[in-house]
Amino acid sequence: MTTKNRETAPKLAEAVWRQSDKENLSLVTGGPTYRAMVGARLTSADAPMPARRVAFWVGLTWMPLLAISAAEGNMLGQHLAMPFLRDLVAQVRFLLALPLLVAAEPFIGTRLAEIARQFVEAKVLHEEEVMRFEVAARSVVRLRDSWLAELILLGLAFLPSLVNVLPEQDVGTTSWWEGLTGGSPQPSAAGWWYLLISMPLFRFLMLRWAYRFGLWAILLWKISLLRLRLSAIHPDRAGGLGFLMASPPVFWPVAFALGSVLAATAAYRISHAQARLLPTEVAIGAFIVLATVVPILPLLAFAPKLARVRWHGVIRLGKLGEMYANSFDEKWGRPHTDAADELLGTADIQTLADLGSSFDAARGTRIVPVSIGSVLGLAVSAVAPMVPLLLLFYPAKEILKALLRVFL
């Protein structure tokens, strides 16, 4: 690079970054659905207004079910095995999980954008790579705004409704979503709304989060291909990528929302003898593992670079340490007159200690920028909805005794 290019590169990088910052690198402030929300004055870039959007989605999914069930006499009907307000799965799905999925958008979008900005603001990227960073960010923004992507997600959300998937129930019982007509189950009016409107919209919100997570993974993968300034002796013990440790816990609202639906469904099936506890425990265990591991997977894109940084850091610092240790030994290791007086106040010992600390830091560099706190945060968000399910089938006293046996 010429001297002129070296001088203009930082200015160009700063100008390009201002444009990227304007886009905010958000994975949620875009797309046809978001633009429709903006047009309906339910949100904006400056004022996310999550309460308005939650009210809108609940008004489309839960409120009609309540109104239609009341009109049909199925809201609290004693003649039903499952009236609407006693359906735990429906209440958790549309009054807890769905609001969480909607309200989490500005929180998750802002946090991920702040993390992405750190690649430039923390100068992890070389100045000449900022242009390529901008290209990568714009490509992800185009995918975020794709009409085709959301149409596919919407189609996938409606697909189960084409095969008339209604909630499970015991044979011979009636519920708010369907009754028995001539000995065969037929959807009620509320059941049809649930089938054609409420559930497809809920699936769409879940699929849209899966799509956004995929965009985040793509963005990190594209960034991992750029030239990065990584140091084996960086104090964050992640080569300078320590800020990425904050990304997995950001998805805790999604994990909590999905875990809540799983816990409510498991409670329904077990209490109605439609499932045994053991298979349900397996499903819950698999969900907790996936909810903990999947948000970490995009960070694996940086593993090859961090592994090389750690290897070269250990080798270079090992050679430097050997040279310095030999020199130190030649100077101070052999007894000579007044050696003790000369040793007082010398910086040689502190330098040797600093080299040792640097070598330990290089050797302790994480290959994947993730911390125990990140993993525990995700695990807690996935496990928390299962606690009421556990208390439903096991007395709290027995759970406490089991915990004491494990830890004491």
Give pLDDT tens digits for 98-115. Answer: 999 999 999 999 999 999
pLDDT value of residue 60: 95
Per-residue pLDDT tens digits of the chain, which is 408 residues long: 454 444 444 444 444 444 444 446 788 888 899 999 999 898 887 788 889 999 999 999 999 999 999 998 888 877 777 889 988 899 999 999 999 999 999 999 999 999 999 998 889 998 888 889 989 999 999 999 999 999 999 999 998 887 766 665 544 457 888 765 555 667 888 988 999 999 999 999 999 999 999 999 999 999 999 999 988 888 888 888 989 999 999 999 999 999 999 988 888 877 765 555 556 778 888 888 899 999 999 999 999 999 888 887 777 767 776 676 666 666 656 655 455 555 544 555 566 566 666 666 777 788 899 888 888 888 889 888 888 777 766 666 665 665 566 555
pLDDT in tens, 164-173: 666 655 444 5
Structure tokens at 312: 């070269």
In this prediction, residue 201 carries a pLDDT of 96
Type of residue numbered 73: G
CA-nearest of 363, 360, 253 to 312 is 363
Alpha-carbon distance 313 to 393, whole Å?
53
Do the beta carbons of residue 260 and residue 254 sit within 8 Å?
A: no
Predicted pLDDT at 82: 84
Residues 272-282 as b or e (16 or more Cβ within 10 Å = b): eeebeeeebee
Q: Is the whole-model pTM more than 0.75? A: yes
CB neighbours of residue 259 within 10 Å: 23
How high is the pLDDT of residue 43? 86
Tokens linked to 317: 């610092």
Question: Is the CB of residue 378 less than 8 Å from the CB of residue 251?
Answer: yes
DSSP per residue over 274-331, as a string? SS-HHHHHHHHHHHHHHHHHGGGGGGGGGHHHHHHHHHHHHHHHHHHHHHHHHHHHHH
List, as one string, the DSSP characters of 363-382: HT--SS---HHHHHHHHHHH
Of 381, 105, 371, the residue nearest 244 (C-alpha): 371
Residue 196: how many CB atoms within 10 A of its CB?
A: 13
Looking at residue 407, its pLDDT comes to 57
DSSP 141-153: HHHHT-HHHHHHH
The SS3 of residue 180 is strand
What is the structure's pLDDT at 345?
A: 47
What is the model's pLDDT at position 171? 43
